[in-house]
Structure 1
Amino acid sequence: MHENLIAYLASCGLESENQSPDAPVPSRNQTFLVRDGKGKRLLVKRSHIDGPIAMTHEGQTIIQLASLASEPNCPLILPEVHSIEPRLGLLVLGWLDGGEALNYYHWRTGRYPLALGMTLGRALGWLHRESRALRPSLGPQAFVEGRFGNPRPFVYLTLDNYARLSQAGLRFFEMIHSDDNALYELYRLLQYPTELTLLHGDVKLPNLLRLRGRKNQIAFVDWEMARWGDPARDVGALFAQYIRAWLAPQTQREKLDQAGVCQFLRVVLNSYRRQRGSAYPLERDFRYRAIRWAGVSLLYYVFGAIHNTEYLDERHSSLTQQAIGMLNDPYRWAWILLEAA
């Protein structure tokens, strides 16, 4: 595999910049920088689990969206696809100069400007509105249903997965499964009719980039989990990123007070609604679905944390209870976050 990878990069005139392509892989994906013959920076992504599927899927998603994102005043920025090599599970993308992931931006500055919330809402609203035009030509199976980010694992815990859980994992699932209403709401999210809109599928702050000199645009990266589905799912995932900064910040620099998170999320939702426009209005229950999807995202965050540490501390236990509360009573949480003065 290593020889094939080196040969492929050489055939494209690419030279590794920051590390060897066979360096230890800390996660299911590996990324490294290369330069082409003209010195242009490129990002190479390599998947070690389902590379041929995941990288081809991500590359084709970006290519299909690029034709729409080239329109004037589009708030969404996409990386340019340089090449796809399915046999090696490789995707080569253009480097986004001057980019800064939002998680680092918030940590570095401690700021949550409302103009950023407006841009985020516009970008998601644009994606969900414009991508519907792709559905007739691509068909319902053009984008696969992702295995991550949906509530199925919390509802259907197989014996095999149960046997692999740590003591912390067992306590985590016990908190969910002891609440019949929360389980029912998770099941209802699974049954919700799929709308004709494309989701990013992995809306979290490390995948959202501010670009220097482009204040009214935001870059979305890591499209490998894009799929058709309920648009409230993407919005809820974004909400969860900022709700966590209020309920359970990792550092004081990331902390948001209640007034700050409420104001920010209202701006996001109002901007999102305006971008979708009268031709694609929000359903009456949209905000409540978004709150429930935010709860699902928080559960995934906690599960990922305890999977790595095998320890369910007070912070993550409290966040689990809050997530269950969002599933059980999204009306109360919508009032707190989006409606209360």
Structure 2
Amino acid sequence: MLLPMSSQNVIQYLQETDLCSSENATSNETELSKSSSKNCNLLVTLADNRKLLVKQERSLKNHQTSHELFNEWLFHQLLQQFPVLGNISAIAPLVLHFDQENSILVRNYFSEYLEIDGFYRHNNIFPSEIATAIGTTLAGLHRATFQRREYRDFMATAPQGEFRYHFYNPVQGIGSISPEIFGTVPTEALKFYILYQNYESLESAIADLAYEWNPCCLTHNDLKLDNILIHSRWNQLDNCLVRLIDWEACAWGDPAFDLGTLLASYLRIWLSSLVVDPTINLEESLDLAMTPLELIQPSLLAFIQAYLNDFPMILEERQNFLVQVIQFTGLALIHQIQETINDQKNFGNSDLCMFQIAKNLLTIPEQSVMSIFGISESEIFSPLAKLHKLPQPEKEQQLVRLYYEKTRLRGC
């Protein structure tokens, strides 16, 4: 990386790339926007009140980058290359500039929009209209690119000087414990890795999910609630338009992964509000949640039904789609726990509750559908069946498996 961005040089950089004039730069404000371990984000307000977000990928060892900003730029190029996808461009920010050499991307900033995660947590309300808009928006992305080889081939483009042999499978379990972990993870957090390895059914479920991962459309792959924006006057507009940001992980992928990641983000609002104490069991903690699941369930149901109503073809192709969505939800919660351990060096009682929920979602997804949505799978599909001709699920024979036909590797 040749040019580290900072508040001292960002205006000069924007001028040199013709993204702002000297007149615009005479009065400006620069602040550090929400950054991550991967990116440094600078929010620049120009003299004409126009706002730009300047993102720079942090370098890894040997000054290399993971080229995630290239993915966002590639997605923008896809929309330019195929005008028929114009409806999708309305939900994503406009990318104005990409500098591969310095791993810098500049995009417009949505001043009148709010992060949905912050909106939910601050107001503790979950309007079904918002969830419906999210489901419809996501279905539009997946439906428009579903099984379209020209889009798949375009998204396989590699950064200059790099190679891409295949699309990355995000269905990853927890890797094997090595002696190095004792120097990076606190003692209390080791309990998570011990619990994870004690359940063979959990590893088996993740291995099955990885085996069944079916990339068939363009996916966001990081669809958390803080990567979805809602207009500040959403309840005064005719259309409850949402926008999706941070497309750095987008790729050709499995639509169930996007849905599961988003559902997990909703569930984290509930799970983070639990009253946890060593003297009370999991059921009591769930009942004492400050934000009960029952408060969120109408939005979860509105989201999944809006998605399936706008993209019923996915059920014709994959009759176990909803079950896989539930399993991806559990996997996303497992990854969230590991991320908390890596960033905060902690594994507390709330994380233990999250682990138990995640395990159930992964190992008994059919029963978990009722727990998450409040109604059964057949009840979810019932209104859809009246509008669309959906195939009836086949009943599987209940046979005892005498051998495991797929190779199962720890951490795959």
Do both share a fold (TM > 0.5)?
yes
* Alpha-carbon distance change, 320 to 123 in structure 1, aligned in 2, over 3 angstroms: same
What letter matches 1:249 in structure 2?
S
Match of 1:83 in 2: 97
* Cα displacement (A) at 1:137: 4.5
1:15-53 per-residue CA deviation (whole Å, 9 max, x = no partner) reads 5622489xxx76321111225675522111111136571
Structure 2 residue 206 is the aligned partner of structure 1 residue 206? no
What letter matches 1:331 in structure 2?
E
Correspondence for 2:321 among 286, 289, 303: 286
Match of 1:112 in 2: 126
Match of 1:17 in 2: 29
Distance, in Å, in 2 between the alignment partners of 1:41 and 1:207 is 18
Give matches, 1:1-341, under 5 Å. Answer: 1-2=3-4, 7-11=12-16, 12-14=18-20, 15=25, 17-19=29-31, 27-35=37-45, 39-49=49-59, 51=65, 53-65=67-79, 67-68=83-84, 70-71=86-87, 77-132=91-146, 135-139=149-153, 141-142=156-157, 150-154=170-174, 156-157=175-176, 159=178, 162=181, 164-213=184-233, 215-249=239-273, 255-278=290-313, 281=316, 283-338=318-373, 339-340=375-376
Distance, in Å, in 2 between the alignment partners of 1:273 and 1:266 is 11
Distance, in Å, in 2 between the alignment partners of 1:165 and 1:264 is 36
* Cα displacement (A) at 1:101: 0.1
More helix by share: 1
The 8 Å contact of residues 42 and 94 in structure 1, kept in 2 or not, is answered as yes
Tell me which structure has the larger Cα radius of gyration. 2
Q: Calculate the TM-score normalised by the size of structure 2.
A: 0.72
Distance, in Å, in 2 between the alignment partners of 1:185 and 1:20 is 41
* Alpha-carbon distance change, 250 to 150 in structure 1, aligned in 2, over 3 angstroms: farther
* Cα displacement (A) at 1:118: 0.5
* Cα displacement (A) at 1:91: 0.5
Using the TM superposition, name which of 306-315 and 97-106 deviates more.
306-315
* Alpha-carbon distance change, 48 to 267 in structure 1, aligned in 2, over 3 angstroms: same
Counterpart of 1:270 in 2: which secondary structure? helix
The 8 Å contact of residues 29 and 46 in structure 2, kept in 1 or not, is answered as no
The 8 Å contact of residues 32 and 41 in structure 2, kept in 1 or not, is answered as no
Task: Structure 1 unaligned segments of length 5 or more: list them.
Answer: none
The 8 Å contact of residues 42 and 93 in structure 1, kept in 2 or not, is answered as yes
* Alpha-carbon distance change, 30 to 296 in structure 1, aligned in 2, over 3 angstroms: same
What letter matches 1:141 in structure 2?
A
* Alpha-carbon distance change, 298 to 198 in structure 1, aligned in 2, over 3 angstroms: same
Distance, in Å, in 2 between the alignment partners of 1:52 and 1:335 is 39
Counterpart of 2:105 in 1: which secondary structure? strand
Counterpart of 2:134 in 1: which secondary structure? helix
* Alpha-carbon distance change, 2 to 193 in structure 1, aligned in 2, over 3 angstroms: closer
* Alpha-carbon distance change, 288 to 255 in structure 1, aligned in 2, over 3 angstroms: farther
The 8 Å contact of residues 75 and 123 in structure 1, kept in 2 or not, is answered as no
CA RMSD of aligned residues (A): 3.2
* Cα displacement (A) at 1:296: 0.9
Using the TM superposition, name which of 131-140 and 283-292 deviates more.
131-140
The 8 Å contact of residues 227 and 246 in structure 2, kept in 1 or not, is answered as yes
Distance, in Å, in 1 between the alignment partners of 2:19 and 2:92 is 23
The 8 Å contact of residues 68 and 130 in structure 1, kept in 2 or not, is answered as no
1:146-177 per-residue CA deviation (whole Å, 9 max, x = no partner) reads 87x934241x3363764543324422111111
Q: Calculate the TM-score normalised by the size of structure 1.
A: 0.85
The 8 Å contact of residues 79 and 89 in structure 2, kept in 1 or not, is answered as no
1:100-147 per-residue CA deviation (whole Å, 9 max, x = no partner) reads 001111122111001111111111111111123653254172487787
Using the TM superposition, name which of 237-246 and 115-124 deviates more.
237-246
* Alpha-carbon distance change, 255 to 121 in structure 1, aligned in 2, over 3 angstroms: farther
* Alpha-carbon distance change, 194 to 158 in structure 1, aligned in 2, over 3 angstroms: farther
Distance, in Å, in 2 between the alignment partners of 1:31 and 1:76 is 22
1:187-219 per-residue CA deviation (whole Å, 9 max, x = no partner) reads 111111423111100011110000245542211
* Cα displacement (A) at 1:222: 0.4
Counterpart of 1:325 in 2: which secondary structure? helix
Counterpart of 1:312 in 2: which secondary structure? coil
The 8 Å contact of residues 152 and 217 in structure 2, kept in 1 or not, is answered as no
Distance, in Å, in 2 between the alignment partners of 1:150 and 1:5 is 34
